[in-house]
Every structure is written in structure tokens, then in C-alpha cells.
A and B are shown apart, each in its own frame.
Chain A
Amino acid sequence: MLLMSGRDVCLGVVFLLLLSCRFGCGVESDISCLKSIKASLEDPLDMLSSSWDFNNNTEGFICNFLGIECWHPHESKVLNIKLADLGLKGQFPRGVQNCTTLTGLDLSSNNLSGSVPDDVDNLIHFITSLDLSSNNFSGEIPKNISNCTFLNVLKLDNNKFSGQIPPQLGQLSRIKTFSLTNNQLSGPIPVFTSNDTIGPDSFANNPGLCGPPYLESCKASPRKSMGLVRVIESNGVVMMIAAGLVLVLLFLSLISFFSNIFGPIELVL
């Protein structure tokens, strides 16, 4: 079963992390993480350029960077990255993978675009709060976000996410705040197994979303179920059949009319 192997993969990832970095490679990787983020994002308002200075590298120097919170003062181990509302452009910064003890990532209210990487769970495995709201992110929400099992806050609202919401999101057992409003999502809402904090407000303004408990039941999409019944129900086909029958009847009545006048007619077919 694919579900079982998914869990094994997750265990494998955690085990590898255990072997490789023991829950944090610490200082060097976190510095390269921030260098990579700075390099991959456009910063037209120069918000990062002044404070993200990698030249003066005393112990824990990155802890004083704008938007960076460390686990302990004077040790360069990043706890949270909060870069909201800085006019940043570019794609989801993959370099965040090297901040191995990251628990919070807030990139909200910027001009970021592109899609969220499919392997996001490898990039931010221990994330508890992910806020990508109010950007220009597009594409589908990657189903691997459901492997970020420690997520308490997931805010993806006010973007251009499309396609269906991965049903696996319902497995996130620690979710307290969840918002997908104002996107272009369609299809059924996931069933959340373990909480009562998610309401209709989490899904509003996605014209294609459907399904209980907050929205109407999803009508089966014609693309997916092409039963013969559905085809016949289509009005156009009925009209064509009716027209055909009329023509046949007309033809037969013409023949009978002419045969009355001219005698038996042989039809050579």
C-alpha cells in the first residue's frame, strides 16, 4: 500500500536526519541557509541588505539579522524566519533546507511566485508554523505538506493556488489555524480527522471548492465519469436523435405518398 511506504519514507527521512545532523547541523549549515535565501530572493526595497551582513561572523551573529529568531542567543541556530511584508520577490527559497532546526517560516505579504516545491516536507520537516499568505504563489498545493506532521499553523490564503486540495491535509493532527481563502482551488474539501478549529472561513473565496461540511456536495465532473447515461442526458444528443427520427418518418411518408400516385416503388439501395 502506498500509504504504508509513505510512512516508511517519513521514518527514513527522520532517521537520516538523526544520523546526519542529529536534529541540527548547527552553526555552519544555518549560515549557509541564510546566505542561500538572500541569494535566491530579490530584495528591491533593500530590506535584507543592511542587516544580513555575513562579514562580521562572531558567535551567533545571524541571531541579530532582521527577521531571524534563534534557539539561543549567541548561537547561530535558527528557530524562526519572519520576513513578512518586505517587498521580496522570487520563488520559494529552497535554501531553507539547511536551517535544520527551523520551526517557523513566515514569508507572508510579499511578491513571491511560482509553486511550492513538491518536496517541501524535506525542506522544512520540523515546521510548526508556515505562513505563505498574500503572495503570488501558484500551482497545486503539494500533497507532501501532509508529511509536515508538526504543523500547527498553515496559512496559504490570498495566493493563486489551483487544482484540488490534497486530501492528505486532513491528516495533519496538530493543525490549529488553517486558511486557504482567496485562491483558485477546486474540488472537495479534505476531511479533517482531529480538530474543531477549522471552519468555513478556512475555505472561502475558492469558486470551485465543494463538499460537506461547509459547501454543497460536489457534482460529479463530466470529465471524470463518462457513463452512457450522462452522454444521453446531454440535450444536444437527444435533439439529434429526434431530428433523425423525424427525417426517417418524413422519408417513409414521402415514399408511401408517391407509391399511391405512381404505383409500387422499388428502392434500390
Chain B
Amino acid sequence: MDRVISAWLTLLLGFLQLAKLSANVEGDALNALKSNLADPNNVLQSWDPTLVNPCMWLHVTCNSENSVTRVDLGNANLSGTLVTQLGVLSNLQYLELYSNNITGTIPDELGNLNNLVSLDLYLNNLNGGIPDKLGNLAKLRFLRLNNNTLTGTIPVTLTNIGSLQVLDLSNNNLTGDIPVNGSFSLFTPISFANNPRLKALPVTPPPPVSPNLFGPKLTF
């Protein structure tokens, strides 16, 4: 009987440790981000990695299971780079890092954020390409990467994101063609403006209007 009880206790403790660990995984990821950022305004001052989870940190929002759903650090005078660890925030819905001075590239691992609804990295100094893996973000509604120095082509994988409503890739240094299929049917030259090396959307020549066999002959 004692052995059974102690076995159950061990299991319970192990489970609690695991729970603590998983919450810490997210806290560790955000702490890695903090370590990579310069923060002259001290907006990350509350980010204490010794806490059991990051849910009490300012600018971090969690769900009822203490898993991070929002990171709101827009317009915070931050500089430095993003980190691959951001990809472990599996319940993250809003990643708001716009209007800072962040440099470096967009990590491929952001493509693992299956629940991401809004990815706002606009108005920074990001370089490199737009990762193809962002096409995996099946719930993404807002993708705003405008006003950076991104290069390379626009991944065709993005056209598979059926939920995409707002796309802004303007003011970068992208090259190649602009996709028009899939979700990109919704996007106009506004979304791609000021990419000097991007091939402009072709103005499709109107097909010749065939003679109207079914009614009065129309003349122009």
C-alpha cells in the first residue's frame, strides 16, 4: 500500500514538475527574446524568468491554461534581433513587435505558430527573406511586414493561407513576381507598393469582346 501511494505521489510530483517546465518553456523563450533585445525604455523590466510562468509579465497575455496568447511590444523603442525560440509559443495568437528598431531576420520557426492570427513586424529594420514556412500559419489574418529591408521573393506558400485578410509587404526590397492566386486574389498593388525591384502586377489586357450573338449588336 505504501508503495502504491508513493508511486502515485511520484507521478503527481513529476506531473507538476512537467507542468512547471512547460510553462517555463514559454517563459524561457520570451526570456531569450529579452536577452536579445536592447530595451532603453525598460518595457521588459517586469519580465522575471524566476516566476513560474510569464503570465504576470507586462505586455504578455495568457489564456486560462497559463499559455501565452499575446505579446504586445509595439512602439517600445526596442532594438536587437528576434529569436528562434519564439516558435515554441504554440498558443500565440498576436505577435506585435511593430514600430521598433529590430534588426536581423525573421526566424523560420515563426512558421510553427499554428494559432497565430496576427504577425506585425512592420516598421523595423528586418532583413533577409520572408520565410516560406509562414505559409503554414493556417489561421493568420493579418500579415504586416511593411517598412523593413526584406529581400528575396514573396513565398507562393502564402497564397494557401485562406484566412488572410490584410497583407502589407510595402516599402521593402522584395523581388520577383507578385502571386495573384489563392488568397492573394484579395490583394492589390497597395499591399506591394514601394518595392522597386518587384515586378508590377500585370494589367491584363481585356479579352476582345466577342460579337454578341444573342441580342442586339452592340457598338462602342
* A interacts with B: yes
Residues of A bordering B, CB below 8 Å:
2-3, 6-7, 10-11, 14, 22-24, 71-72, 74, 79, 101, 103, 126, 128, 146, 149-150, 152, 167-168, 171, 173-174, 176, 187-188, 191, 193, 210-212, 217-218, 220-221, 224-225
Q: How many A-B residue contacts, CB cutoff 8 Å?
A: 82
Q: List 5 A-B pairs, minimum CB-CB distance, nearest first.
A: A218-B215, A23-B193, A224-B216, A126-B188, A188-B215
Q: Which residues of B contact A221 (CB under 8 A)?
A: 215-216
Residues of B bordering A, CB below 8 Å:
75, 98, 120, 122, 144, 166, 168, 170, 180, 185-190, 193-194, 203-210, 212, 214-218, 220
Q: List 4 other contacts, CB 8 Å, given A6-B206, A23-B170.
A: A23-B193, A72-B168, A167-B209, A193-B207
Given contacts A10-B203, A11-B203, A149-B203, contact A187 B168 (CB under 8 A): no
Contact between A101 and B190 (Cβ–Cβ < 8 Å)? Answer: yes
CB distance from A148 to the nearest CB of B (A): 10
Q: What is the chain B residue whose CB lies nearest that of A11?
A: B203
Contact between B206 and A211 (Cβ–Cβ < 8 Å)? Answer: no
Q: What is the chain A residue whose CB lies nearest that of B194?
A: A22
CA distance A224 to B215 in the complex (A): 10
Contact between B98 and A72 (Cβ–Cβ < 8 Å)? Answer: yes
Given contacts A22-B194, A23-B170, A23-B190, contact A217 B214 (CB under 8 A): yes
Contact between B185 and A24 (Cβ–Cβ < 8 Å)? Answer: no
CA distance A193 to B206 in the complex (A): 10
Contact between B214 and A7 (Cβ–Cβ < 8 Å)? Answer: no
Contact between A23 and B203 (Cβ–Cβ < 8 Å)? Answer: no
9 contacts between A and B (CB under 8 A): A7-B205, A22-B193, A24-B193, A71-B168, A72-B168, A191-B210, A218-B216, A220-B215, A225-B216
Q: Which residues of A contact B180 (CB under 8 A)?
A: 174
CA distance A72 to B216 in the complex (A): 49
Given contacts A14-B203, A126-B189, A171-B207, contact A212 B214 (CB under 8 A): yes
Given contacts A72-B168, A152-B185, A217-B214, contact A3 B190 (CB under 8 A): no
Q: Which residues of A contact B190 (CB under 8 A)?
A: 23-24, 101, 103, 126
Q: What is the chain B residue whose CB lies nearest that of A173?
A: B204
Which one of A14, A79, A168, A220 contacts B216 once the chains associate, using CB atoms below 8 Å? A220
Q: Which residues of B contact A218 (CB under 8 A)?
A: 214-216
Q: Which residues of A contact B186 (CB under 8 A)?
A: 103, 128, 152
Contact between A188 and B205 (Cβ–Cβ < 8 Å)? Answer: no
Given contacts A23-B189, A23-B194, A176-B185, contact A171 B206 (CB under 8 A): yes
Q: Which residues of A contact B220 (CB under 8 A)?
A: 2-3
CB distance from A193 to the nearest CB of B (A): 6
CB distance from B3 to the nearest CB of A (A): 60
Contact between B206 and A168 (Cβ–Cβ < 8 Å)? Answer: yes
CA distance A71 to B171 in the complex (A): 14
Contact between B166 and A79 (Cβ–Cβ < 8 Å)? Answer: yes
Q: Which residues of A contact B144 (CB under 8 A)?
A: 71-72
Contact between B166 and A7 (Cβ–Cβ < 8 Å)? Answer: no
Q: Which residues of A contact B122 (CB under 8 A)?
A: 72
Contact between A210 and B215 (Cβ–Cβ < 8 Å)? Answer: yes
Contact between B206 and A3 (Cβ–Cβ < 8 Å)? Answer: yes
Contact between B214 and A211 (Cβ–Cβ < 8 Å)? Answer: yes
Which one of B166, B170, B204, B212 contacts A188 once the chains associate, using CB atoms below 8 Å? B212
Q: Which residues of B contact A79 (CB under 8 A)?
A: 166
Q: What is the chain A residue whose CB lies nearest that of B193?
A: A23
CB distance from B147 to the nearest CB of A (A): 10
